[in-house]
Amino acid sequence: MRPLRHRRLTAVVALATMLVTAGPPTAAGADDGRNRRAGYHRVGYFTQWGIYGRAFPVKKLDTSGAASRLTHVNYAFGNVSEDGRCFVDGGPGEGDAWADYQRPVPADESVDGVADAWGEPLNGNFGQLAKLKAKHPGLQVLISLGGWSWSTYFSNAARTDASRRAFVASCIDLYLKGNLPVLDGGSGGPGAAAGVFDGIDLDWEWPNWPGEPGNVVRPEDRQNFTELVAEFRRQLDAYGRTTRRHHPLTAFLPANPATMDAGYEGREIFRYLDFATVQGYDFHGAWDPVTNQQSALRVPSGAPDNPDFSAEVAIDGWLARGAPREKLVLGIPYYGRGWTGVSGSGNGLFQPAAGPAPATFEAGYEDYRRLKTLAGNGFTVHRDLRAGHAWLFDGTTFWTYDDPAVVLQKTLYIRRAGLAGAMVWSLDGDDDNATLTKTIGLGLATP
C-alpha cells in the first residue's frame, strides 16, 4: 500500500489539476500546449539581511534541499549611486559589505563546514554562494539591482547613452569580474568575487512610476529602460565572449497594468531579457481598510475592488502588451499579509479591520514558516479553490498566504499556460525543510 502521505499528495495534485483546468480561458490559460516547456526556471531571492533575525545563512539552501530544486538564486540587493554606478558601501543606509563579503562565516554556518578566517578576500554571503555553486554546479547566481529601497537613482543611471554605458560597465566590473573594494582587514580586491555572479537581475521599482518616496522619476524612464536593458545585453554579450559563457539578464516586472503602461515598452524589452519575473503578490495588504487576498491566482468572487489584481491578471497584462509567454516567470510569496481587529461575520474575508496584524519583524507581514504554525492553534485555514488562495482567521486576526496546496496549484497553472517557471520572494520565509520550494520542484518537475 502507498504511504498515507503519498496518497494525500496524489489527491492534492489531482484536485489542483482539476481546479486549474476548470478555469475560464483567459489569455494566459488559453495556451494550446505547443509552448509548454521541457524545463522550467525556478528562481529564489536570497536576502542579504536574512542572516540576522531570520537566521538564514546560505548553508540552509543546501541543508534544506532548496538549492537542488532551484535553477537561479537572485541576491538581494545591489545598490545604485546618485551618479549612476553600481557600488558597495558599508555606510549606514548604503549597504552591508560586512554581510556581503567581509564577515567571517563560522564552520557551523559554512556550506562546506570550513570556517572563514578574518581578512580573506571573499568571506560572507558571497563566499558562501561560491561554495554553494561548487556543490550545485547547475545553479546560477544573479545580482539583483535596486529593489524597493535602492531604486532611488535608477533613473539617473538610465538617462543618457553615456550614463547607461558607465552604469552597466560598473556593474559588470563589480559583480561579474568581482573587483570588490578592499575593506578593513583586507577582504575584497581585484577579482575577489569573480565567478560568484553569473548575470544581472534588474529590479527597478519603478520606471516612470512612484515607488519608495524620494525616488527619481522621469517620463522618459519608459524608453530609457528599454535602452538600459539593450546596453546590459550588449556589454554582457561582449564580456561573455571573453569568458566563453552566456551571462543571463532578467528583470522584475510589476503586476499593476497602469505601471506596465507607464514604465515599459512591453514587446521591446523582451528582445534583450532572458526572462522576466512578474510580481504575483502584494495585491492587497494592511494599507487597505478591509481584509483581502494578497496573491490569489484569480480574482475571487465577491471581491470589493473592480477591477482587481491577481496573478492571472498580471500575466494576462504582460501577454496583452507583447510579452512572450515562454519568457514570463510567475512570482510566488513565501510570506503573508495580515490584519487585526477584524469585524463583521463569516470567515473574515472582505471584512473591515482596525489595522495591521502584529508580526515578528514588520506589522502586517509574516513569513510562511511562522504562519504555518497558526493552523489548528486558534486559527482556521480557509480556501477559495476556484480563485486559488488561502487564508487564516481566528475571529479577530486574518492572514492571507500561500501554503503548499496553493503553491502547487500555481505551478500547474504555470505548466498549463506555457510560462517559463516560478520565482519566490524570499527563500528565508520557507520552513527548515524547504517545503514550499520542494512543492515548486514537484509541480514543475520534468520527466
Q: What is the pLDDT of residues 135-189, one digit of tens each?
A: 999 999 999 999 999 999 999 999 999 999 999 999 999 999 999 999 999 999 9
Residue with cell string 479591520? 353
Residue 360 has pLDDT above 70, yes or no: yes
- Residues 54, 45: Cα–Cα separation, whole Å: 14
Does residue 205 have an active-site annotation? Answer: yes
Give DSSP secondary structure letters for 177-222.
S--BPPPTTS--BTTTTTTT--EEEEEES-TTS--STT----TTHH
Helix, strand, coil percentages for the chain (3-state, nearest 5) = 35, 20, 50
Q: What are phi and psi of 254, to 5 degrees?
A: -80, 165
Residue 90 has pLDDT above 70, yes or no: no
- Nearest CA to 104 among 23, 175, 187, 200? 187
Tell me the pLDDT tens digit for each residue of 2-48: 343 444 444 444 454 444 434 544 655 555 444 455 699 999 999 99
4-336+406-443 homologous superfamily: Glycosidases (3.20.20.80)
pTM for this entry:
0.94
- Residues 114, 251: Cα–Cα separation, whole Å: 34
Which of 82, 120, 205, 268 is catalytic? The answer is 205
Give DSSP secondary structure letters for 76-133.
EEEEE-TTS-EE---STTT--HIIIIIS---GGG-TTS-PPPTT-SS-HHHHHHHHHH
Predicted local distance difference test score (pLDDT) of residue 190:
98
Predicted local distance difference test score (pLDDT) of residue 38:
62
Tell me the pLDDT tens digit for each residue of 189-240: 999 999 999 999 999 999 999 999 999 999 999 999 999 999 999 999 999 9
> 290: which DSSP letter?
B
- Nearest CA to 156 among 75, 224, 238? 224
Q: Do 349 and 292 touch, CB atoms closer than 8 A?
A: yes
Give residue 89's pLDDT band: very low, low, confident or very high (50, 70, 90). Answer: confident
Tell me the pLDDT tens digit for each residue of 392-438: 999 999 999 999 999 999 999 999 999 999 999 999 999 999 999 99
